[in-house]
Structure 1
């Protein structure tokens, strides 16, 4: 089974190759005018691809069908969610890791904050693990480790793991001419580590059913539409018909922030947009963002942007409105 065919069967036909180099191929999703996703693919062995994903989408769909194989994911930045073939809802936030059989795959992915960067390892059944990896750590039964992961009923998920963080995040700093040999060693390390884990580990990230995830996304949309309204956790839970504890945990898992931290982010992102793009008074903008006191709004704004609202507006005018766009909160 050619590795390239395996890649396209898993990622679908929407990705087109745009560049080849001695060590890697680059694939893009979207049009030449508006490229919304890019993947750099390294083929380590026959049947093993390592993919560096840089995605700027809200949702993505593929035309793939379940098949044998294994998919391993590490989220470096952003967030990713999907519903697996068996109905399990999975979310990855920065620092999270997952592994699942491709028999239990998904056709639709969501990116709750509109962007995702991470690393994917695709392993086809044709991969001769013992033959290729034994030179690195000969005491590990790689075939057994893979077989266990292939047959696992539910996805194997870990919250932020120091081992995974060190193993995967460091890959972004490796020079391209050293990437292939480095990735082979990391592949052996990864499977060695997975061989010591089980799906009942205390670090396992919590799963949430589709209904609760849908409710939490409705809460997020409500806050986007009404940043001036501040409801307590109890009031939100009652309004949307969800248990408070489940709501708080599910929200943090999907969006990577607490409800109140995300509300603050939404409020001040909208405030900055209004200061850049409208002539509304600062008092009016403060009111739209839930502040009855302009002074308190200005103090909070300055803590984030290191400029008062009026200074920020003047700066944007001088810099053509876009100079401070995208400030993280």
Structure 2
């Protein structure tokens, strides 16, 4: 047994030291058409865009057959009509924003901040949407057929039950969402902040830790359940969101929206929260304040004029809401950003 372990460790060390990047990355099929932007020694950087915005993806090969993607999305959707793939697993962690996974024509589910999803890539996606128009997170693609024997050996030594993960996810053709919890936070948090020169090695350690965690999927059954929404209802809710943001000076009650879109008030509130992660009121309030930020930066309109444009009849209430959300008054925010811009490039939050 000791000889076997030494051989496994020796082979794995050799594999770990390899740094060549593959010519093509398996997981780029997650995003549809992408344009290679930059090739570094340890990763590739891709950019994608459509009529809703733009995105940036940084791709690392952790092991042969395992890739890790850092996603920086400022768009409404990407990846129309993804091709299916056998014996491949897709894992996603949501850091910021909200991620919609739609499957076929009938159902979709949502990831919130801190959530983890794991699914078979045989489960065909018709779309991947970002309801809040921004999303930051990590995707991991595992091609089980491409894992080297040395990697499988070290996984066995660590009691990683790769066979069980494959059977549970791939053969079951499942999509599971684990809601945010301390274990998921522990695994992923430092991947977003690790120093660049330590990142390749650190990702290998964290990948093994993640697979060990997923080897206990059967004991975490209570956190693997998720709510699925009918896509016709989701389309209606998105129409509601579009309607209430079309004219920010208009004010609508839940009852009025319910009547206009022929949906019960209970279903409207429940489904809206399911899609956008918040109530209709909170969503519209946040949207108004984001528009206000944009107007403060891009126009010379007064605070009173901006308040009126986004539906606040009382400028003082607008100022209070802005300060509560962003920590400074509209006037202070405008001054501070212009001061920063005079010495450095400012990167704003997108609507």
TM-score of the two chains, using structure 1 as the length reference: 0.81
* Conservation of the 8 A alpha-carbon contact between 1:86 and 1:104: no
Q: CA deviation at 1:284?
A: 5.5
Q: Counterpart in 2 of 1:109? A: 128
2:27–2:67 CA contact under 8 A, matched in 1:
yes
> What is aligned with 1:162?
182
Alignment equivalent of 2:154, drawn from 131, 135, 139: 135
Equivalences for 1:180-199 in 2 at 5 Å? 180-198=200-218
Gaps of 5+ in 1: none
Once residues 149 and 341 of structure 2 are traced to their aligned partners in structure 1, the CA distance between those partners, rounded to angstroms, is 59
Structure 2: give runs of 5+ residues left out of the alignment. Answer: 1-21
Q: Is the 8 A contact 1:15 1:29 kept in 2?
A: yes
Q: Is the Cα–Cα contact under 8 Å of residues 66 and 147 in structure 2 kept in the other structure?
A: no
Structure 1 residue 177 corresponds to structure 2 residue 197: yes
User: 3-state SS of the aligned residue for 2:272?
Assistant: helix
Partner deviation per Cα, 1:135-161 (whole Å, 9 max, x = no partner) = 365333222222211123441112222
SS at match of 2:56: strand
Q: Secondary structure at the match of 2:154?
A: coil
1:205 maps to which residue? 226
Question: Given the alignment of the two structures, is residue 90 of structure 1 paired with residue 109 of structure 2, yes or no?
Answer: yes
Shift of 1:224: 0.9
Contact kept? 1:93, 1:255, Cα under 8 Å: no
Q: Do the aligned residues in 2 keep the contact of 1:228 with 1:287 (CA within 8 Å)?
A: yes
The answer to whether 1:25 aligns with 2:44 is: yes
Residue of structure 2 equivalent to 1:48: 66
Number of residue pairs aligned between Structure 1 and Structure 2:
324
CA distance in 1, matches of 2:197, 2:247: 50
- In the alignment, the residues of structure 2 paired with residue 274 and residue 28 of structure 1 have an alpha-carbon distance, to the nearest angstrom, of 27
The CA deviation string for residues 282-323 of structure 1, in whole angstroms up to 9 with x for no partner, is 5555444444444434443444455555666777888889x9
CA pair 298-238 structure 1, distance change in 2 beyond 3 A:
same
Q: TM-score, normalised by structure 2?
A: 0.76
- Residue 119 of structure 1: how far off its partner (Å): 0.7
SS of equivalent residue, structure 1 residue 126: helix
Measured in 2, the distance between the counterparts of 1:177 and 1:318 equals 33
Compare 155-164 and 181-190 and name the one that shifted more: 181-190
Q: Distance in 1 between matches of 2:211 and 2:330?
A: 52
Deviating more after overlay: 249-258 vs 52-61: 249-258
- Stretch deviating more after TM superposition (270-279 or 172-181): 270-279
- Counterpart-to-counterpart distance in 1, 2:183 and 2:169: 19
Task: Mark the CA change 1:195 to 1:244 in structure 2 (over 3 Å): closer, same or farther.
Answer: farther
2:93 alignment partner in structure 1: 74
Structure with greater proportional helix content: 2
Worse overlay, 100-109 or 3-12: 3-12
Residues 146 and 187 (structure 1), Cα distance of their counterparts in 2 relative to 1, 3 Å cut? farther
Q: Residues 306 and 161 (structure 1 numbering): CA distance in 2 closer, same or farther, change over 3 Å?
A: closer
| Residues 65 and 195 of structure 1: CA distance in aligned 2, closer, same or farther (over 3 Å) | same
Displacement, 1:71? 0.7
Root mean square deviation of aligned Cα? 3.6
Q: Distance in 2 between matches of 1:213 and 1:303?
A: 31
